[in-house]
Each structure stands twice: as C-alpha cells, then as structure tokens.
Structure 1
Amino acid sequence: MQAGKRSDRITFQRQSVSDDGYGNVMSNWSNLLTCWADMLERLGGEKIQSGALEAPRLATIRVLRAPETLAVTEADRIVARGQTWNIRSIAAVGRANEELEMLCETQVAT
C-alpha cells in the first residue's frame, strides 16, 4: 500500500477494569496507539437486535504491520471519523503480510 492511501488518523483503545475503592468495578478505555490508516466504509444492512432495529455500518481498516499494531486484538476498539468502531476480525494481508486489515462495525452494542 502506498503512503498516500493512508489518509485517516485512527486511535486504538484498550479497556481496563479497576475497583473504585467501594467494591464497584469501573471500566475505562485508554488510548493505546494513534496511527495513519486506509479506511473504507460500507453499509452493514439492517438487523433486529433485542427487539430494536439497528443499522450498523461496517468498515475495513488497513494499517501497516508493526510491533505496535500487532499488539491490537479484537477486544480493543478504534476511534475514527468521530465514531467508535468495534474490531470484529484482524488479518495479515499483502504479498509479504506487510499490512493488517481489520473488519470493524459501529452503531451496534459491543
């Protein structure tokens, strides 16, 4: 992939869990990594979830393969284009596996 194709700035986030000191579990998302990516959005189709109609959007996000991006898992999430995206799958792509491609979904429950 040429450098010019990565025109979207994205941030990977990882969830951490802590105790608030009163026995309540607190869930926080913290920034893991910010990098340039190639992002292609498409419609995901409508589906009914728990009796409510959802219209999720899908995106394919490609980043360069590096030690930092290899640490990303499906449990993490991406913030891009003003939306939070759940990572559904990650695959190494390209002739020499030089990129990571992530199938992501937004506007759905995690």
Structure 2
Amino acid sequence: MRSGTLKDWITIQQAGSVKDELGETIPGWVLLDTDWADIRFPSGLEAVRADGVVSVIKASIRIRRRTDVLASMRVLDDEGRIYDIKAVIPNKQSRQFIDLVCETGANDG
C-alpha cells in the first residue's frame, strides 16, 4: 500500500477502565494506537433519535493491515469526530490493509 494514500491521522480506542477526577475507576475509552488512514464518506442518512433528527454518516476507514482492531472499538479523527466501528473487512488479495465500516453522528461518545 502506498503511504501517500493514507492522509488522515486517527486514534483507535477500545472500551476499558479509566480514572475520573477523583481517582475512581469508571468505564471509558482507552488508547489502542494512533495511525495514518484514508477516511471516505460513501453515504449519509438521517435518523430519528430521542425525538430529534440526527444525521448519520457512514464512513469507510482504510488502515494498514493489523489483527487487533475489533468491531467493538471506535476511531477518532484529527478533528475529534467519533466513528463507531461496525465491521472490520480484511483485504484477502493483497493482505496489505483492512477497511473499517463505521458510522458517525448518532453515537454517544
């Protein structure tokens, strides 16, 4: 994979335990890794959530191949936008990258 196609800096997070301001352990998001990616937006839609209309944007995030990314994780871009990972799709031909099928806009962070 040519590195020039990976132009977006991302942070991959997994659910875990973090400490709050008082030092208590609470559920939160823990850093897995940071990496370069290619974020694409093939579609968007609107959904009703909590009596309001929310824009849901579907995204495909391509990163270098790795085996530790799961659909239960999330991605943050360099602007702080949160992407919930819905599926991890490997490239079976070249085995150089994986695509993360994601949604943003309707998540709680």
> TM-score normalized by structure 2?
0.81
Superposition CA RMSD, Å: 2.2
The superposition leaves residues 8-55 of structure 1 with CA deviations (integer Å, 9 ceiling, x where unpaired) of: 1111011113798xxx87112121100111111244211223432111
- The alignment status of 1:92 with 2:99, answered yes or no, reads no
Query: What residue is the counterpart of 1:45 in the other structure?
Result: 45
Aligned with 1:4: secondary structure? helix
What is the distance in 2 between the residues matched to 1:109 and 1:7? 24
The alignment-based identity, stated in percent, is 24
- The residue type paired with residue 107 of structure 1 is G
Moved more, 98-107 or 42-51: 42-51
Deviation at residue 109 of structure 1 after TM alignment: 2.8
Unaligned stretches of 5+ in structure 2? Answer: none
Aligned with 2:95: secondary structure? coil
> TM-score normalized by structure 1?
0.81
**Pairs aligned (count):** 104
- The residue type paired with residue 17 of structure 1 is S
What are the residue-to-residue correspondences of 1:1-110 with 2, within 5 Å?
1-17=1-17, 26-66=26-66, 70-82=67-79, 83-93=81-91, 95-109=93-107
- The residue type paired with residue 34 of structure 2 is T
